Chain A
Amino acid sequence: MKVEAPPRLELVGVSKSFPGVRANDNVNLKVRPGEVHALLGENGAGKSTLVKMIYGILAPDEGQMLFDGAPMRVHNPRAARRLGIGMVFQHFSLFEALTVLENIALGLDARLSQRELLAEFHKVLDAYQLKLDPRRVVSTLSVGERQRIEIVRALLLNPRLLIMDEPTSVLTPQEVEQLFETLRRLAASGCSILYISHKLHEIVALCDTATILRGGKVVGAADPKRETSRSMAEMMIGGNLKEITKPAARAFGPPKLETQGLSLPKPTEFGVALRDVALCVRAGEIFGVAGVAGNGQNELLAALSGEALATGAEAVILSGEPVGRLSVTERRNLGLCAVPEERHGHAAVSEFSLTDNAALTGRDRMEFVSFGLIDPSKATSYAAEVIGAFTVKATGPGALAGSLSGGNLQKFIMGREILQRPEALVVCQPTWGVDAGAAAAIHQAIVDLAARGSAVLVISQDLDELLTLCDTLAVINLGRLSGPMKVGEASIEEIGLLMGGVHGDPSGTTEMTEHLHAHPA
C-alpha cells in the first residue's frame, strides 16, 4: 500500500441536520486513490445526505472535507465537477425527447462544438468499451442505456472520484455485470469510486472497502472480501436478521385473480402498452412479476386495481366473476385490493392524516360510511388498529402520512389493505426504499395473507425479493408477460434474459431501434 499518497477524499467529523433529524453525525471517511469504496446502509441511514455534501448540493453544518489532502470548498455541483468529482444519480436527469448526444451536451459545463463533443464521446466509449449510439432518442432506450449516458457524462470530465448512488436498482443481472466491468476498468485507471448500495452481494463482488452507516453515524468499516453478507447486514441494521417463515408444503386453491388477453393502449406518450397479458393466481399463491422498471408494471397494476378499465369485462376475472369493466370501488368491494408503487400521492396522500388515509381505501369495506357521511371515529379506530397490528411508528392516527418514514408509511399502507381481508391483493414494489426491518415485516405479512387463502400478486424489480417470497414467477417486458415459472425451477440467467427482453443484448437493441424508428424522432 502506498502510504505517502494522501487519500483522494477524506471527511473529518462531518455533520448535517435537518428539522427533526440528524442526518449525519460526526462522519469520518477515507477513500484512497483507485479504490472502490462502498457506502453501505439502509434507507434513511444518511448515505444520500453525505454524498450530496461531497457533490456540493448540501453544505455540511460541521466538519471538514479534504480532497487529495487539501481542504475542499464546494458550494455547488459545478465546483465539485471542477475538482474532478462526478456523480451518477439514482434518478436520471435526462430529456426523453432529445438524443443521447444532446442530453450530454446539455449536462456539460464546458461549451464544445458538436464535432469536438462527438470525438470526446467516442474516446470515452472506446476507453471503457461502452456501447451507446449518440443519435438515439432517450425515450427509446432501456434503463441500462440511460444510465450509461449519465456515466459517460460523468466520465467526460475525467473524474478522479465518481459517486454512484444505488446504480443497480433498475438494472437486469446482465446489465449489472456490464456496469461492474466498466467500474473496475475505471478504478484500474486510478479513479476512486464511492459506491452507494444496500445490496450486499454487489458490494462483495465489486468493492475493496466498505463503510457502514446507521442512523447517520459510521458504525463500522469492513473488508467485503472477508466479511459475510450476513455479518455486514447485521452491522447495517444493528440487529439480527429475521428470516421469513413460510409454510413448507402448500396446496393452492381455485383461481382467484386471472387475466386473459389483457391489452391496453399507452396511457401517456412515454407509458407502456399492455399486450395480451394472461396470468392466473390461485388462492394461497404468491405470484411474482419481475421486470426492469418501466416495462408496464404500473400499467398492469392500474389495469388490475381498476384505475384503468379493460376493454372487455372478461379481461380481468376475480373469483370467477368478470370485473374488467368495474370501477376501483366496485372491485374493492368484491375483494380486489391493490397497493401501487408510489407511496406519496398515489397509495397515500402525504398531507392527510393516517385516519383520512385509512378512509381513502377502507371506507366501504370497513363500513365507515352511512348516508354518505364518514364516521370519523370508525376511521380513526381502524387507523389505530393498522398502526398497532403492523407496529407503525407514528404519533397516532392523527399523524400526517408525510411525516412518517418510508418504511413506516409502507407498513401502514400494506396493513390498511391486508386488514381489509382481500380475496386478492396486488402490490407493486412492496419494499422499495424500505429499511430491512420493515421489509421483513411486510414480507411476512404477505406470506401470512396468502396462507389465509388470499391470492397475492407481487410486482417488483427486486429479483431477490421475488425469489424468496413467491411460489410462481413471470417476467414483464415491454408490456408483455412471459409464461409462469415455478420458483426454484427457473434459472436466474433465464429470468435475466427475459427481463432484458429484446433490448438486453446488443443485437436486440438494433432490432428495437429499427422497430421504434419506424416513426423517426
Chain B
Amino acid sequence: MRIRLEKRLTPSRIMQVATPIASVLLTMLLGAVIFELIGFDGPDAIWQTFITPIVAPYKWVDVLTKAAPLIIIAQGLSLGNQAKIWNIGAEGQYVIGALAGAGAAFAMPADAPSFIAIPAMIVAGILGGMAWAAIPALLKTRLRVSEVLSTLMFVYIAMQVLNYLIGGPWKDPNGHNFPQTPPFSPTQTLPHVIPGTVIPPGFVIAGVLTLLFWLLTARSVYGFSVRTVGAAPSAARYGGFDASRTVWSTLMISGGMAGLAGILEAMSQLGQINLGFPSGYGFTAIIVSFLGRLHPIGVFLAGLILAVTYVGGQVAQTAVHVPEATAGIFQATMLFFILASDILVRYRLRIVRDPRRTAPVGVPA
C-alpha cells in the first residue's frame, strides 16, 4: 500500500474552498500541540488567539481596525498575483503612501476644511504608494529586473526615507525630540470608528473595494487580461493583451492600495507618523492574498482571520503568557499549510495497492 498523487482532470472547486479552511484548522491544531510541548497551556493559547477576539465584543473594534489595511492591501496584491506579478514590497508602498499623505497635510494650512484636506491626503497617499511601486515596474519592463527582488528591496529604502523624514525635516518641534511628525490637525484626521458603531472608516472602504475588485476580476475585460497574462503569456499576446501594460497596471494598483491603507491608518488611528508606523501589514497581506485564494471575497474573509490572529496574539500574551512572536508564528504556519495544500486542488490522493503484474500465462495471440 502506498499513497499516490494523481492529476485531476479539472482542478477541484471543493478543494479550492476546503484547503484554506483546513489550513486554519491545522494551524490551530499544530499550534496547540507545539505550545503544549514547550510548556504552555496549548488549547488555551489557541482559544485566546483564535476564539476570544471573535466572541468578546470589546475586541471587535480591534479586529476590524486591523482587518481594514490587510484587506485593502491584499486586494491589490491578489490582482497582481493573478498575473503572476509578485509585489512583495507592499510594506514599503504602505509607508511611502502614508508619508506622501502626511506631506500633503503639512503642505496645506492646518485649518483647511475636511472636505478638502481628507480627499487631498487620500489622493496623495495613493499616489505615493503608486510612485514607490513605479520604480520596480520601470525596472521590470525596461531592464527585466525581477519585481520579487526589487519590490522587497524598496521596503528597506522606504524605511530609511521614513527614518530620515521623521528624524529630520518633518520632526515634531514639540515632540520632546522623539522621531515623529507633528500631529495632523482635527480637519486632517478621520475618527477611529464611525460614531455609534464598532466599524472603523477604513473597514467601510475595504468593504467597498472588495466589491469593486470582485467586479474588476470577475467581469471586466481588464480582469480577464490580468488572468490571461498570468495563465499563458503567449495566449495573452495573441488575445491582444500587452504584458508590460499589465506589469505597470497591476503594480500601480497594488502600490496605490498599499498607499491608501497607509494614509488611512495614519489619519484614522495614529494621527501622526512615528517610528512604530511600519507594522508589517504589507507583509501579512501576502498571506491574506493566498489564504483568500486571490479571490476578492476570499481575501475579505482571510483579512478578518489574520486580523483575529493579530488581536488574539496580544490577548494570548497577557492571558497565557506566550511570547510576542506567537501571532507571527501562527500566520507563517497558516501560509505554509495553504501553500502545501495547494497541490490538492490539482491532484488527488489515491491509496493504491502495490502494482502487481498479472501472472504471465503464455497465451500468445
Report which A residues bind B (CB closer than 8 A): 10, 12-13, 19-20, 28, 30, 59-64, 71, 305-307, 327-329, 332, 338, 340, 342, 345-352, 356, 359-361, 363, 369, 372-374, 376, 400, 403
The reply to whether A12 and B362 contact each other, CB–CB distance below 8 Å, is yes
Q: Which residues of A contact B364 (CB under 8 A)?
A: 10, 12, 28, 30
Q: A12-B360, A13-B363 are in contact. List 15 more A-B contacts (CB 8 A).
A: A12-B363, A12-B364, A19-B9, A62-B358, A64-B360, A71-B360, A328-B237, A346-B232, A349-B228, A356-B224, A359-B224, A372-B222, A373-B219, A373-B220, A374-B224
B113 contacts chain A at the CB level, 8 A cutoff = no
* Contact across chains for A351 and B240 when beta carbons are under 8 A apart: no
Q: Are A307 and B237 in contact (CB under 8 A)?
A: yes
B238 x A305 contact (CB < 8 A): yes
Please determine whether B240 and A349 come into contact, CB atoms closer than 8 angstroms.
no
A328 adjacent to B238 (CB under 8 Å)? yes
Chain B positions within 8 Å of A349 at CB level: 228, 231-232, 235
Contact of A61 among B7, B224, B240, B355 (CB under 8 A): B355
Q: A348-B235, A349-B232 are in contact. Are A328 and B360 (CB under 8 A)?
A: no
- Chain B interface residues (CB < 8 Å from chain A): 6-11, 215, 219-222, 224, 227-228, 231-232, 234-235, 237-240, 355, 357-358, 360, 362-365
B222 proximity list for chain A (CB < 8 A): 372
Identify 12 residue pairs between A and B in the complex whose beta-carbon atoms are under 8 Å apart, listed by A's number. A12-B362, A19-B9, A60-B357, A307-B238, A327-B240, A347-B235, A352-B228, A360-B238, A361-B239, A372-B220, A372-B221, A373-B220
Residue picked from B11, B231, B357, most chain A C-beta under 10 Å: B357
Taking A64-B357, A64-B360, A346-B232 as contacts, is the C-beta distance between A403 and B239 under 8 angstroms? no
Do A28 and B220 touch across chains, with their CB atoms under 8 A apart?
no
Given A62-B358, A403-B9: A346 and B363 interface contact (C-beta under 8 Å)? no
Would A369 and B221 be within 8 Å (CB), given that A342-B234, A403-B9 are in contact? yes
In the assembled complex, which residues on chain A have CB atoms less than 8 Å from the CB atom of B355?
A: 59, 61
**Of all chain A residues, which has the CB nearest B346?**
A351
Contact A351 B11 (CB under 8 A): yes
B232 touches A350 (CB 8 A): yes
Q: CA of A19 to CA of B234 in the docked complex: distance in angstroms?
A: 28
For the complex, give the distance between the alpha carbons of A391 and B35 in Å: 61
Alpha-carbon distance between A372 and B217 when the two chains are bound, in angstroms: 12
Closest chain A residue to B358, Cβ basis:
A62
A306–B362 CA distance with the chains assembled, in angstroms: 61
Bound-state Cα–Cα, A329 to B355, Å: 52
Most buried by A among B224, B231, B237, B238: B238
Bound Cα distance from A28 to B363, whole angstroms:
10
Task: Across the A-B interface, give the 10 residue pairs with the lowest CB-CB distance, nearest first.
Answer: A329-B240, A28-B365, A328-B240, A64-B360, A345-B232, A360-B239, A346-B234, A349-B232, A373-B219, A62-B358
Residues in B whose Cβ lies below 8 Å from that of A374: 219-221, 224
Is B358's CB under 8 angstroms from A63's CB? yes
B264 to chain A, nearest CB (A): 27
Bound form: Cα–Cα A305–B235 in Å: 12
Task: Specify which of B8, B235, B357 is in contact with A346 (CB 8 Å cutoff).
Answer: B235
In the complex, what residues of A have CB within 8 A of residue B9's CB? 19-20, 403
Query: Is A373 in contact with B221, judged by CB distance below 8 angstroms?
Result: yes
- Also in contact, A352 and B231, with CB within 8 A (given A373-B221, A403-B10): yes
Q: Measured between alpha carbons, how far is A338 from B357 in the docked complex, in Å?
A: 49
Q: Which of B6, B219, B231, B357 contacts A351 (CB 8 A)?
A: B231
Residue contact B235 to A360, C-beta cutoff 8 Å: yes
* Contact call B363/A361, Cβ cutoff below 8 A: no
Please, how many angstroms separate the alpha-carbon atoms of A346 and B234 in the complex?
5
Whether B235 pairs with A332 at a CB distance below 8 angstroms is no
A273 to B214, CA, bound (A): 43
A328 to B8, CA, bound (A): 34
Q: Which B residues touch A306, using CB under 8 A?
A: 240
Contacts of B7 in A (CB 8 A): 19
- What is the CB-to-nearest-CB distance from B287 to chain A, in angstroms, rounded to a whole number? 24
Instruction: Kindly list chain B residues whose C-beta atoms are within 8 Å of the C-beta of A10.
Output: 364
**Min CB gap B16→A, angstroms:** 13
Query: What residues on B are CB-neighbors of A19 within 8 Å?
Result: 6-9
